[in-house]
Chain A
Amino acid sequence: MFYFYQKVFLRYLIWLAMGFLPFILKSEYYKDCLVLTLLWAGVAMGWNILGGYAGQLSIGHAAFFGMGAYVSTLLYMNYGLSPWIGMLIGGLMAGGFAFLLGLITLRLRGPFFVLATIAFAEVIRISAISWRSLTRGSLGILIPFNLGFWNMIWRGKDAYIWLTLVYMLLVYIVCRTIESRKFGYYLVALRENNPAALALGIDTAKMKARAAFISAFITAIGGSIYAQYIMFVEPSTVFGIMCSVQMSLIAIIGGLGIAGGPIFGAFLLIPLSTFFRGALTKYSGLNGLVYGFVLVFVILFMREGLLPKISELWERWGNIYYNIIKKRKHILDK
């Protein structure tokens, strides 16, 4: 227990340190990497609510990410509506879809549920491509560079670092709140043992649908922020399967069903993929290979995820250190 308070202290220290990052990182390249890392951490934490806590592995969350991106963008382009409001509308729409879809698909077992989520995202993606009058199809939408807080467009990357940091922090708080309350307990219960959960009075269908709503809402907001950062939305990025896989991977590698897990996952995977893409251009495709190796390594040796493993190592080394201190003290006292 000696190191328990250290852990809590460390947690707050890390959050504080992250607030100073915009001042530490100078190059645009690193700042860009940080924005994306923080954004994906938040999005993955949102995914984690359905995929980690409730155990419903959705590989179609890009549908909600893209919905957020397109809704806020279209409302901004066509009606001049501020993305701050647009993203909430996108979030509610995504949440609504997720809730209704959840009531239908969440009865499906394991692989069939995953397939349904993939299918859903693909349907949305293809619709976005076909519905050219609304979305300009594969051409995508270029967002004009009109500076302003209400447009969520800033010069330079510092403001976006703050934005995504706040986003990540808020999502983290939501996850911590859920996991300590009745709803969180019920989600984990239905993940661990569905019949037992039913027998204890849990309406598993309603809980899953609710988790889907919250998860989709958070993901969609992330999508809106992404749109305002990249200033360009098109179907294959925001609705694509790589987008879905990326957010699931970050959560799984970082730690399923743990609030801070995806943060670790994002800080590992996003810089990794960005750096390797730039640094290993000598041999084409090498970055993919290295990325793949890292993934396999983590899956083989840290099955519970990055955060649990780091936590475990921290405890173990803390114990060893503590015992050494105790022994030293003992010898000195003699």
Chain B
Amino acid sequence: MLLELKSITKYFGGLKAINSVDMVVEEGQIVGLIGPNGAGKTTIFNCITGFLKLNEGKVLFEDKDISGKKPNDICQLGICRTFQISRPFGRMSVLDNVMVGSFLRVREFEILRARNMAIGVLEFTGLASKKDQQANSLTIADRKRLELARSLATQPKILLLDETMAGLRPSEVNEVVALLKRIVKESNIALVIIEHIMKAIMSISDKVVVLDYGKKIAEGTPSEVSKNPSVIEAYLGRE
């Protein structure tokens, strides 16, 4: 087991944002995390990566307890996340942005090595032609791509992708799906994907976990989950 969430619970004051959620991610697996808005999906990401502290439960990475560690330590260990609203380093170039990622795995003065690693990632994600452009000036699709490239540069073992395809046109969505498939195939990185675009997530995921009001209400293969009545109810509403 690469990543294991054991009965994690998070309160915001009196509100149980995450209610005793269990989840397991294996190496090289693609897990889709879906649920209505406000179900707690991003909160789970924040809890895994140390941006929020758990109230109950444990997060185990490679069988070691990482609950309570700081976000930068968790990235060092191999868990990297992207943000729902992309956070580029605006006044740096695209290449410099990705270099910030690749610097994690090199020493202080190995600038050229970091640069070459970054260029490699840019070519892989299709951003190489824009490498000297200022990150501020990128389109939304390219920003999302940059966010992905930057986290890839940290050589993670597992990537937590928060709505990487939100706001993209269908053609752009297909490009991202193809890219993600390549990532898993070529580097065996596990992916946990939060997404609302059902077609994309169902086509790519090995298994899907469904959240509603902070609780896991279903888990299984894409086809199993899409037929689950409580999942359908969660999305289409209750009487």
Contact = CB atoms under 8 A, between A and B. Distances in A.
A1 to B, nearest CB: 12
A188 interface: yes
Interface of B: 49, 51, 70-73, 75-76, 80-83, 87-92, 96, 99-101, 103-104, 106-111, 114, 150-151, 154
Given A180-B111, A189-B89, A193-B89, A201 B51 contact: no
Contact of A200 (B80, B108, B111, B114): B80
Contacts of A58: none
Interface in A189-230: 189, 192-193, 195-204
B106 A200 contact: no
User: Which 4 pairs, one residue from A and one from B, show the smallest C-beta to C-beta distance?
Assistant: A201-B75, A192-B89, A196-B87, A198-B71
B83 A201 contact: no
17 contacts: A180-B111, A183-B108, A188-B89, A188-B92, A189-B89, A192-B89, A192-B90, A192-B91, A196-B87, A196-B88, A198-B70, A199-B71, A199-B80, A199-B151, A200-B104, A200-B154, A202-B72
Contact of B75 (A180, A181, A186, A199): A199
A310 B99 CA distance: 28
Contacts of B106: 182
Contacts of B51: 195, 198-199
A31 B235 CA distance: 76
A150 interface: no
A193 B146 CA distance: 14
A185 interface: yes
Contacts of B91: 188, 192
Interface of A: 180-183, 185-186, 188-189, 192-193, 195-204
A185 B96 contact: yes
The main secondary structure of chain A at its interface with chain B is helix
Given A181-B109, A185-B96, A199 B83 contact: yes
Contacts, number: 82
B96 A200 contact: no
Contact of B81 (A181, A193, A199): A199
Given A189-B89, A195-B51, A201 B109 contact: no
A85 B137 CA distance: 49
B99 A198 contact: no
B87 A193 contact: yes
A307 to B, nearest CB: 15
A204 B72 contact: yes
A183 B99 CA distance: 12
Contacts of B92: 188-189, 192
Given A193-B88, A196-B87, 14 more contacts: A181-B111, A182-B106, A189-B92, A192-B90, A193-B89, A196-B88, A197-B100, A198-B51, A198-B71, A198-B72, A199-B81, A199-B82, A200-B101, A201-B75
B100 A195 contact: no
Nearest to B136: A192
Contacts of A188: 89, 91-92, 96
Most buried by A among B71, B106, B111: B71
Contacts of A196: 83, 87-89, 150
B29 to A, nearest CB: 21
